[in-house]
Chains A and B, each alone.
Chain A
């Protein structure tokens, strides 16, 4: 009984020791940095690329962008769908470009966050 209890304890402990949970599994991710510029009207413009590094094609991939002001309040949130060569699904290893333009004034944006949302 003691042996079994020790064995279970070690089994529970190993995942924490290896810290495997800190590594995320491959999926779709941004390829390189996202380029941020200002257009003629003074609005922030973003251009970037996304690559599918997973073993299967993904569908319904979205790029989400959230802009916050100095007080940490969300002033603008943009979601754009990613379109691959086969429509809404992005094939394995495929690179897809995206571009988005904000409505908010550039000087009011203090913090920006990009994220990717998709189904496998």
Chain B
């Protein structure tokens, strides 16, 4: 029972330390995720602007290869993702309004072609959080008020998770060791000092018990030697305590 209680206290302290470190980790992760969200939105805006230019130049004719080359000439494919560093978007999607309205494809948008946060297409829950961020930006051709289509960019948050762990792993480990050290020091500080009380005695109950047993044994041994008959004939072999006296 004593060890179980001690083990539970240690486990509780470790849990508190882990919770503290986990809170720091989640804070760092959320900060980095917000940066990634803003980058995705900015990239979607840039691509939407380029898509508007492309369709105006080509009289609304579209070829995926042409558009890819157009983007490469205007921005540079490498530059498209350089800003992301850790979690570059894997797929960049162009959907036309007509296809969305006809139901040919689900873009995860509402009727006004704005992002629908409740759409299952825009969520992917894994490891207890939504690990996908989707940026959707409608684009317009000419002076039209209705969007011609949407640009959709998906980014995964999992690489951010590993990146935060990679950058702060040693810090978390050191923090774990330091907090454990602090917990131990706190334990030493709080530990009760046993004061010497002359009235109640200064020995533990168990120590007193063993002394009593020893006292009884020694008394018995002395008593035995008092009553026993000593061998006077062979004094070299037997040592008599009484004789010494």
List chain A positions with a Cβ less than 8 A from chain B. Answer: 17-19, 22-23, 30-39, 42, 44-49, 70, 99, 105-107, 110-112, 114
Interface residues on B, range: 20 to 34
> A17: which B residues are within 8 A, CB to CB?
169-170, 173
Q: Which residues of A are found within 8 Å of B121, using beta-carbon distances?
A: 110
Q: Are A33 and B88 in contact, CB atoms less than 8 angstroms apart?
A: yes
**Which residues in B have their C-beta under 8 angstroms from that of A18?**
169-170
Is A35 in contact with B90, judged by CB distance below 8 angstroms? no
Whether B80 contacts A22 by the Cβ 8 Å rule is no
Q: Is the CB of B173 within 8 A of A22?
A: no
At the interface, yes or no: B142 with Cβ under 8 Å from chain A? no
Query: In the complex, what residues of B have CB within 8 A of residue A107's CB?
Result: 103-106
B27 contacts the other chain (CB 8 A): no
**8 further contact pairs, Cβ within 8 A, besides A19-B169, A32-B80, A47-B68:** A18-B170, A36-B92, A37-B94, A38-B96, A46-B91, A49-B68, A49-B77, A110-B120
Q: Once the chains bind, are B153 and A33 in contact (CB under 8 Å)?
A: yes
**Residue pair B64, A106 in contact (C-beta under 8 Å):** no
Of listed A18, A38, A112, residue having the most chain B CB within 10 A: A38
CB distance from B76 to the nearest CB of A (A): 8
| Complex interface: chain A residues within 8 A of B90 (CB) | 30, 33-34, 114
Q: Does B166 make an interface contact (CB < 8 A)?
A: yes
Judged by a CB distance under 8 angstroms, whether B65 is at the interface is: yes
Known contacts A22-B166, A47-B65, A34 near B104 by CB under 8 Å: no
Give the distance in Å from the alpha carbon of A106 to the alpha carbon of B92 in the complex.
Answer: 15
Contacts A31-B77, A31-B78, A49-B77; is A36 near B93 (CB within 8 Å)? yes
The listed residue (B91, B165, B173) touching A112 by CB distance below 8 A is B91
In the complex, A4→B198 CA distance in Å? 51
Tell me the nearest residue of chain B to A20, going by C-beta. Answer: B166
| Interface hits, B50-94 → A, CB 8 Å | 62, 64-65, 67-68, 71, 77-78, 80-81, 88-94
Given contacts A19-B165, A107-B103, contact A34 B91 (CB under 8 A): yes
